[in-house]
Amino acid sequence: MAEPTLQELKELILNLDKKIDTGFIRLEGEIKRVEEKLEGEIKRVEEKLEAKIDGLEKRLSNEETLSRTAFAALVVGALAGLIKYLFFPNP
């Protein structure tokens, strides 16, 4: 088997370099395609979550209103009982 000449080695190296470059170019294209697909998926998930979060915020708003109203009623009832006890004693 004859030893390869410098020209043959140079051609082999250049061919390998071209193959590697084309592989990287294809790989970059695939990466961009996957990134675009993931961005679309993320946007879809965000839209779904935003709708659910809005619904939860409305529910929490209603719950907060009910809680404040119940607490205010409790405070007013306690004050009314205290005033009756202090100023209007039982006969």
How does pLDDT run across 62-84, given as a tens digit for each residue? 888 889 999 999 999 999 999 99
Instruction: State the chain's maximal CA–CA distance in angstroms.
Output: 127
Q: Which residue has the tokens 């979550």?
A: 49
pTM more than 0.85: no
Q: What is the pLDDT of residues 24-51, one digit of tens each?
A: 888 888 889 999 999 989 888 888 888 8
d(Cα 54, Cα 46) in Å, to the nearest integer?
12
